[in-house]
Amino acid sequence: MIWFLVRRLLATVAVLLVMSAIVYGLFYLMPGDPAVLACGKRCGPDQLVVTRHKLGLDQAVYLQYWHFLQGVVVGRDYSSGPDVNHCAAPCLGYSFQSDQPVTNLLLDRLPVSASLTLGALVLALVLGVGAGLLSALRRGTFVERLLTGVTLLGFSTPVFLIGLILLLVFCAWLKVLPFPSYVPLTENPAEWARNLVLPWCALALIEAALFARVARAGTLETLAEDHIRTFRAYGVPERQVVRRHALRGALAPVATITAVELATIIVSAMLTESMFGLPGIGKLAVEASTSVDLPVITGVTLLAGTAVVLANAVADLLHAAIDPRVKLA
Amino acid sequence: MTLFDSELAAGADPVLAPGEEPVPAAGTDPVPSRRGGAWRRLRADRSALAALVLVGLLVLVALAAPLLTALEGQDATTFHSQLLDSARGGVPHGAFGGIGADHWLGVEPGTGRDVFARIVYGARVSLGVALAATALELVVGIAIGLAAGLGGPRVDAVAGRVIEIAIAFPSLLLALALLAIVPQSVPRPVLVALAITAVNWGNVARVTRAQAMSLRTRDYVDAARLAGVGPVRIALREILPGLTTPLMVLAALKVPSNIVSEAGLSFLGAGVRPPTPSWGQMLSTSTTWFQTDPAYVIVPGGLLLVTLLAFSLFADGVRRALDPRSTRV
Amino acid sequence: MTPVSEAPMTPVGEAATAPVLSVRDLRVRFGDREAVGGVSFDLEPGRALGVVGESGSGKSSLALALSRLHTGADVTGEVRVDGTDVLAASDAELRRLRGGRIAMVFQDPLSSLDPYLRVGDQIAEVYRVHTGATRRAAAAKAVEVLDRVGIPDASRRARAHPHEFSGGMVQRALIAMALALEPRVLVADEPTTALDVTVQARLLTLLDELREETGMALLLVSHDFGVVAETADDILVMRAGKTVEHGPVETVLRTPSAAYTRELLEAVPRLDTPRPAVVTSRTPPPEQADSPQESLLRISGLRREFRLGPPLRRRVVPAVDGVSLEVAPGEVLGVVGESGSGKTTLARLIVRLLAPSAGTIEFAGRDVTRLPARELRPLRRDLQMVFQDPLASLNPRRTVGDSIADPLRVLGEPDAERRARDLMDRVGLDPDRYGAYPHEFSGGQRQRVGIARALAPDPRLLVCDEPVTSLDVSTQAQILALLAELRAERDLALLFVSHDLAVVRQVSDRVAVMRAGRVVTLGDVDTVYDQPEDPYTRALLAAVPKLAALTPAT
Amino acid sequence: MRLRPFVLLGSALLAATSAVAGCGGGSGSGGGAAFDPKTCQGGTLTVLNQGGLGKFDPATLYTSGGGALPSLVYRTLTTRKRVPGQDGTKPVPDLATDLGTPSDNAKTWKYTLRDGLKFEDGTPITSKDVKYGIERSFSPDLPGGAPYLHDWLVDGTGYKGPYKGGDLKSIETPDDKTIVFKLRAPHGDFPYLATATQFAPVPKAKDTGVKYQNAPVSSGPYRVAKYEVGKKLVLVRNPSWSRAVDGQRLACPDRIEVTAGLDATVINQRLSSGSGADAKAITTDTSVGPEQLARVGGDPNLAKRVARGVFGETKYLAFDTTKKPFNDVRVRQAVAYAINRQSVINAIGGSELASPATTFLPDGKAFGQQPYDYFPAGQSGDPAKAKALLAQAGYGSGLTVDLAYPNVDTDGIGPKVAPAVQDALKQAGITVKPKPFSDDDYRNVTGKPSTQPALSLQTWGTDWPAGGPFLIPIFDGRQIITSGGNFNLAQLNDPAVNKEIDRINTITDAAQAAPAWGALDATIGKQALVVPLYHPKTVALFGKDVKNAYVDEWRGWYDIASVSVK
């Protein structure tokens, strides 16, 4: 267990190093001058020099990367004229667009993205696993065909299309739900949920389709396994066979896939946030990409990478908890 | 794949999904008769056949775009300002987005360009980008996957890690960043296809690697080694043929997923640029107009949905045909 | 084949008690295919019936049908367990019947228990379903029965998961599960096939004991005459879903009435019979084989380690641990051992599919231990291998002819195809099937393809890794005969690796017995088998079910 | 102004991020008594914005007329007149007693501070504080303000601010009430410039450099209670301020809460539904999008809560007249004839959001616009006339040109407009190849004559409602900057034009100067140096409990200093 955590930690650090190096590399492979981007539209030659120096862009590439890493680990200082701006520990630099510390930008938006993603994930798991089990256990019935069709549909539809349809129906026609606008959970839990229902559904329907497939496949595979036959041969009622012996086997892959899917969910959340105008990290990323706000892009990328790597570690823990054969090592 | 490429990102191709086995049931080599059998099965699969017909039709439409627009007597770029109600924000005059004898599917709000012409030309971009990206992903993915799978532990330690990271990365994010910093002068569809490839090859590489590793340990490969066959010949004659089945399935799944990727990028404004029509970009514009000009939402949205369904159904049929024992939906 | 009487025979000398299992005209049909075509028999309490047959004979289908476990099959006839008609029973009745009166033990110990739950809990669950006992009582019962079937430290082991059990222990646990319910009939479908011979012996003994103790009847399904002969009172021989012969063990084995039974029995390799002289034309004198000048292959101190576990806690496990042996030209060296003994690793080391960690391999007087792959290649023609699984060792996407011709092409043979056809002819395959794919052949034919391919470069040493293990007994005999012929004809040396002591005896001049990576005994085959000195070898030989004692001498 | 500060065309940003039109719908406008400035005080006003809170230092802000929010905290020497209608384009004294006394042919401007002025901490405001505020804005660490002070003040170009450069000699403060500016050239527009936030007083003792914006010392009706960069600004009453010392700002709400970083769609949605605090909400940067116009028009309750206005701004096609083929005036004229302004306007949201432009100067008396249309293209272009001109110029068989534009629609000259131009020119036989540039790159590429594309989409807005800042950077030959930052894209260096500019600059009476600028525009227009496309218009919603919300004509947006939520 300890070894597992240590190894995972090391792997996480390695992955993040690689990711940051890749993203940082993009800074320099790109045709433009980062200082010009940072300085903005109205930027005279004087200011350009100041900006370049302030951001350390006049240094060698490897030094800049080193300072960047330093900033992430222990923080760094940006000197500008009379003042020294200290950017505290996980320092990801300053946004070119808003001159805000990227760390703050991310933290500000984290609650929105977390609310959206986690809520949708729970909903997707409930819907998906339910549908998957149902269609596996009702094989050959109308229910199965219906669920298969719905799953395929959910599978083929981009999240923005689903979101659009949901808006049209629930917001424009039925007028039962508001156009989403983020209300912090701490401020008003009821409004928080009411406003997030549509984004949750849009995001969850897509993921649910995947979970349904995996849960269905897992159930069918488990039901075909020999040990199921053993319990049938010993007179255990079918209901109990499914509940006690098939369910775990069916759900183990769902746990794995959830972690593996996180990268996809993050991507879908980006689209969902853009679609509904929710001020989350995904929207930040889209805006940063449009305006080539490199520090923000780097920050979002690293955050997403961390989330994915951590999710995979959690999935491994979960997998080990479900399946006694798996040893954490 | 509803998501921006769930399969891609997650490594989890929804269909190949659960767990680590990316290839149709490991250890079972589809035997050659299956290939012939696969055709037979595919022909017998009504939904796959219907999907194939639809896919063919769509490809035909894309190819025949100039012919079809000539038939209609319109083109994709001419503005028709007189057909728009300027005082109401530029929505088309008349019901259903200005659908009529002159403009079969109406005109675009804001510009008055012919929707039918833009749809058929947009099909070229959407399908072209998706197919090109799929082909490129296969080339890149197979090369890296084979290197990792056959190149020995050192190569695999590096290549395998790179593949993992590539899969764990939220692809859309990277694609957005890439598209933001690439030179604006290169033709956009080419860039989009390259960007999609750059972020989505991981899946192909992973499947190739896993399959190559599994095939590498087969007795018949050992037998070939004992017969004195050289490594290159072994890779080409003994291993590559064994990759075709899983890769064919994956390629079939990649196409719809790449269509979604293209649409997603265009939706976020990073895809092909307005003078060039593409479905995702039309959908992006249409979300603005969904209340005042619903026809403009329904046409490209519905078409995208049908296209994705057709490709997904077809891919599913291919998978069923090539791997008939699969229990997955 | 003798016609089967409708009325089942009552074993001679037994008081006619009411049968606890009674089967009449049982048929199992999958679509058009009839797996079981009208089988009838009775089984009295406390007795054991062995059902024997080759693969595809329908014996497993028969076993499953007894508890109505088939899904998607059409089962007709009558199966009465303790008087209840299984095929007509309601769901509730069937549930009571299953486990309660007729219990099953399956072939694959790795998958027959739920991997997610503790072994004790699984037994307790089944016990509670049938008795409604409390959780506590059921748990106690589980420990009790586990103890009874000989699981050491049962109360602790009850809390273990199935993957922490060895194959033999899982089978014992399954028997314990049955035991807890005190069924009248235990159906065991190839219960020992996946087990090593010593484990098999202990399990069969356990079954015998339990039968005696509880009076339950046993239906033992097996492909192995030896196993059945040791355990059963009666034998039912099946072929293609039909009963070929049914009678007391002694009768069937000594005086088989059906020709098929006779053939089968003849094909079974005998552990206690010296190898027939026909096998080689020239038996090399042992002293000659041992002389170093003459040896074709000489390995000394050969060692191969595998590293297991995560980087920081890596353990080094030697699979082959200091093996030294020689093979003379034209000699057959048998290598025998239980699973995990390192015999397959040894075979792969010798052909250099694996690189040794230490030690040397000399082939034809040349040290080939560290030769790089490129220099090794010309040597390959002298050193070939026949693999265990004939299907896996043939590329499914290439024609068998291509597979055979490949080594010839590599050697620059101008007319590889013609030579390949000749080879096919030689190993008993129709040369016209040059263009056919492996899946179009039967298991025995595929192994002939494998042999032809190995023979193509005209090797001097053929390493055979369990070449007949996956084959039925009659096919096995044919392949062994083929190898013997080829060996005589081509003056081929063989290194014959197998877990089957009887097979090894039939083919080898000398034999090496391996255990835990080491050779424990090496010597002349008759000496080793008839006067084993090493205690392990003795135990191994003792564990093999003996058939010969019951069968007429050939 | 060189580029629009603070004001964003809402519809444009909306397109870039692509969102969906709001749902629900406005409920009826809340009742309540009519607006009375005497009793308007009280309540909390919510401001919902897309951006604009990136900085709040008076030295770094680039505003027109002091901006909406900054002018609530920073009083300046002069300010815009806070009334609806045409008068709103006039400057009026704020801290000063008058609009300034010019002398030396408008090269020297003298101001006197009014009595009773105090900072929020009660210390009196002196002319030295005003001078210090201006000096700070020269510091390279505090960039972003308008460039005029650098260009106009004597020694302004070399001065590096008070931290390193010491004292700026060209601003004199003979006593605590008087401040005198020495200019290099005559600038009759100085009273307009003095509305900028750089003219706000900053007490030297309280200056914390780049951190000053976090706790600025207020001279206006409100002080900063909380400022989170880019996100939130909370203003509360400044106890040291009273209407007695400020004739312009009504300052009705007790508290103003500004939220930035919202989506245009969300803002319009919240304003139209107006639930809770949103009933007392307003926006200072978000226009109703084209897709919502139909709804606004169809809903009488909503229509009541819409204010329309104009910010002096022109979107145009710019030629580099030194480059082929645009060195030929006939080609430029052909483009002017070919252009389809209706297409362009539809593309950015229709007639509610833009009006066609044939003059470079925007509409309105303040600019002195003289209407002209030398190359009448009608509503949808005159391709025949264009073709004829092209044939004369030797391009009868067609012509291929590159069109440069920024790749976002933020400024209304991006990917929406470019295809409309492309299509119109195609009708005239001109093949346009689109050349999109990244938004940040665009200014750098077009601002340097060496990299400047021959044909590009451009925008020009006013820093104050007068013709001078509109025409000088674009057409003054002495303003051609080769090192970058050039706006005279036509590369026009016409001595007659230069001379006329100098002449008008000496006019200190705006009423006289305006027609002169208008006449100059009409003269220059004959050369077809630019093709004006459209003037944008603002359509903005306000909450149902908001009163006295009008769009001022100086900036084209709500003046928060005047609204009430009581």
| pLDDT tens by residue, C502-515 | 899 888 999 999 99
pLDDT beyond 70 at C331 = yes
Around Cβ B27, how many Cβ atoms within 10 Å? 9
Contacts A98 to D, Cβ<8 Å: 54, 229-230
Asked if D143 and D57 touch (Cβ cutoff 8 Å), the reply is no
Choice between D54 and C80, residue whose per-residue pLDDT is larger: C80
pLDDT tens digits, one per residue of B288-306: 777 778 788 888 888 888 8
Question: Which of B177, B287, B291 is nearest residue A26 as measured by Cβ atoms?
Answer: B177
Contacts D156 to A, Cβ<8 Å: none
Contacts B76 to D, Cβ<8 Å: none
Average pLDDT over residues C443-460: 90
pLDDT tens digits, one per residue of B272-290: 877 788 888 888 777 777 7
Question: Which of C392, C406, C456 is nearest residue B219 as measured by Cβ atoms?
Answer: C392
Contact A172 D269 (CB under 8 A): no
- Top-level class of domain B48-327: mainly alpha
Peptide bond into D325 cis (omega under 30): yes
pLDDT tens digits, one per residue of B24-44: 333 334 444 445 567 777 777
Contact C457 B228 (CB under 8 A): yes
Start-to-end CA distance of chain C, whole Å, equals 21
Asked if A197 and A182 touch (Cβ cutoff 8 Å), the reply is no
Give the 3-state secondary structure of residue D284. Answer: coil
- Type of residue found at D114: R
pLDDT of residue C286: 46
pLDDT tens digits, one per residue of C132-190: 889 999 999 999 999 988 888 999 999 999 888 888 889 899 999 988 998 999 999 98
Q: CA A228, CA D493: separation in Å to the nearest integer?
A: 91
Secondary-structure percent of chain C, ordered helix, strand, coil, rounded to 5: 40, 25, 35
Contacts B242 to C, Cβ<8 Å: 395, 397
Asked if B158 and B209 touch (Cβ cutoff 8 Å), the reply is no
Unique residue bearing structure tokens 């901006």 = D67
Q: Which of A5, A223, A230 best probes binding to C when mutated, by most C CB atoms within 10 angstroms? A: A230
Q: State percent of chain B over pLDDT 90.
A: 9
Q: Which residues contact A266 (CB under 8 A, 6 or more apart)?
A: A117, A282, A304, A307, A308, B170, B173
Q: Which of D3, D17, D18, D20 best probes binding to A when mutated, by most A CB atoms within 10 angstroms? A: D20
Q: Which chains touch C (3 or more CB pairs under 8 A)?
A: A, B
- Type of residue found at D135: E
Reported confidence tier of residue D198, pLDDT bands at 50, 70, 90: very high
pLDDT tens digits, one per residue of A130-161: 888 888 888 778 888 888 878 877 777 888 88
pLDDT of residue B140: 93
Structural domains for chain A: 2-93 (no CATH), 103-322 (1.10.3720.10)
Contact D293 B87 (CB under 8 A): yes
Q: If residue D480 lies in a helix (H) or strand (E), which one and from where to where?
A: none
Give the 3-state secondary structure of residue A254. Answer: helix
Q: State percent of chain C over pLDDT 70.
A: 91
Q: CA A257, CA A265: separation in Å to the nearest integer?
A: 11
Choice between D14 and D474, residue whose per-residue pLDDT is larger: D474
CATH of range C19-101+184-258; options 3.40.50.300, 3.40.50.970, 3.40.50.1360, 3.30.450.40: 3.40.50.300
Reported confidence tier of residue C469, pLDDT bands at 50, 70, 90: confident
Reported confidence tier of residue D528, pLDDT bands at 50, 70, 90: very high
Average pLDDT over residues D552-565: 88
pLDDT of residue C6: 44
pLDDT tens digits, one per residue of C71-87: 878 899 999 998 889 89
Fold of the domain built from segment(s) C318-550? Rossmann fold (3.40.50)
pLDDT beyond 50 at B228 = yes
Q: Which chains touch A (3 or more CB pairs under 8 A)?
A: B, C, D
pLDDT of residue B23: 34
Give the residue from B289, B114, B84, B276 showing the smallest Cα distance to D345. Answer: B84
Asked if C360 and C300 touch (Cβ cutoff 8 Å), the reply is yes
Give the residue from D562, D488, D563 showing the smallest Cα distance to D524. Answer: D488
Asked if C489 and C478 touch (Cβ cutoff 8 Å), the reply is no
Average pLDDT over residues D497-520: 92
Q: Are strands C33-43 and C48-53 parallel, antiparallel or unpaired?
A: unpaired
Question: Which of C377, C381, C393 is nearest residue B223 as measured by Cβ atoms?
Answer: C393
pLDDT of residue A41: 59
Contacts C373 to B, Cβ<8 Å: 231
pLDDT beyond 50 at D27 = no
Choice between A241 and A263, residue whose per-residue pLDDT is larger: A241
Average pLDDT along chain B: 78
pLDDT beyond 60 at C240 = yes
Give the residue from C321, C368, C510, C442 showing the smallest Cα distance to C55. Answer: C442
Reported confidence tier of residue C305, pLDDT bands at 50, 70, 90: confident
List the structure tokens of A120.
Answer: 């949708």
pLDDT beyond 90 at D308 = no
Reported confidence tier of residue C313, pLDDT bands at 50, 70, 90: low
DSSP annotation of A7 = H
pLDDT of residue C119: 92
Q: What is the ipTM of this complex?
A: 0.77
pLDDT of residue D526: 93
Contact C410 B241 (CB under 8 A): no
pLDDT of residue D8: 33
Give the 3-state secondary structure of residue C188. Answer: strand
Q: Which residues contact C128 (CB under 8 A, 6 or more apart)?
A: C135, C138
Q: Go through chain B and tell me how many residues it has.
A: 329
pLDDT of residue D431: 93
pLDDT beyond 90 at A180 = no
pLDDT of residue C62: 92
- Rounding to the nearest 10 degrees, give the CA dihedral for residues B73, B76, B79, B84: 80
Give the residue from D533, D541, D542, D558 showing the smallest Cα distance to D348. Answer: D533
C-alpha distances (whole Å) from C497 to each of C354, C386, C494, C504 are 16, 10, 9, 8
Q: Which of B6, B55, B184, B257 best probes binding to A when mutated, by most A CB atoms within 10 angstroms? A: B6
Reported confidence tier of residue D217, pLDDT bands at 50, 70, 90: very high
Give the residue from B164, C313, C316, C314 showing the smallest Cα distance to A3. Answer: C313
Burial status of residue C72 (CB atoms within 10 A of its CB: 0-12, 13-18, 19 or more): exposed
Query: Where do the structural domains in chain C lie, given as residue ranges?
Result: 19-101+184-258, 111-182, 318-550
pLDDT tens digits, one per residue of C264-295: 888 888 877 766 654 444 444 444 444 445 78
Reported confidence tier of residue D209, pLDDT bands at 50, 70, 90: confident
What's the gap in Å between the CA of C296 and the closest CA on chain B?
18
Q: Which of B77, B79, B268 best probes binding to D when mutated, by most D CB atoms within 10 angstroms? A: B79
Choice between D514 and A293, residue whose per-residue pLDDT is larger: D514
Give the residue from D168, D254, D162 showing the smallest Cα distance to D212. Answer: D162
pLDDT beyond 50 at C4 = no
Reported confidence tier of residue A1, pLDDT bands at 50, 70, 90: low
pLDDT beyond 50 at B328 = no
Task: Enter the pTM of the model.
Answer: 0.79
Q: CA C518, CA D476: separation in Å to the nearest integer?
A: 98
Contact D20 A80 (CB under 8 A): no
Long-range contacts from C199-202, C-beta under 8 angstroms, 24+ separation: C199/C166, C199/C167, C199/C168, C200/C168, C200/C227, C200/C543, C200/C545, C201/C542, C201/C543, C201/C544, C201/C545, C202/C150, C202/C168
pLDDT of residue B180: 74
Reported confidence tier of residue A29, pLDDT bands at 50, 70, 90: low
Contacts B268 to D, Cβ<8 Å: 18
How many Å is the maximal CA-CA distance in chain B?
Answer: 81
Choice between D502 and B150, residue whose per-residue pLDDT is larger: D502
pLDDT of residue A74: 77
Give me the total of CB pairs closer than 8 Å, taking one residue from chain B and one from chain C. 79
Contacts B234 to C, Cβ<8 Å: none
User: What is the per-residue DSSP string for B265-278?
Assistant: HHHTT-SS-TTS--
Choice between A52 and D345, residue whose per-residue pLDDT is larger: D345
pLDDT of residue C128: 93
Q: Where are the alpha helices (DSSP H) in D327-482?
A: 329-338, 341-347, 383-392, 417-427, 439-446, 468-475
Across A158-282, the runs of DSSP E, i.e. the strands, are none
Average pLDDT over residues B195-201: 88
Query: Rounded to 5 degrees, what angle do the CA atoms D414, D416, D420 make?
Result: 110
Chain A CB within 8 Å of residue B22 CB: no
pLDDT of residue D319: 95
Chain D CB within 8 Å of residue B18 CB: no
Give the 3-state secondary structure of residue D238. Answer: coil
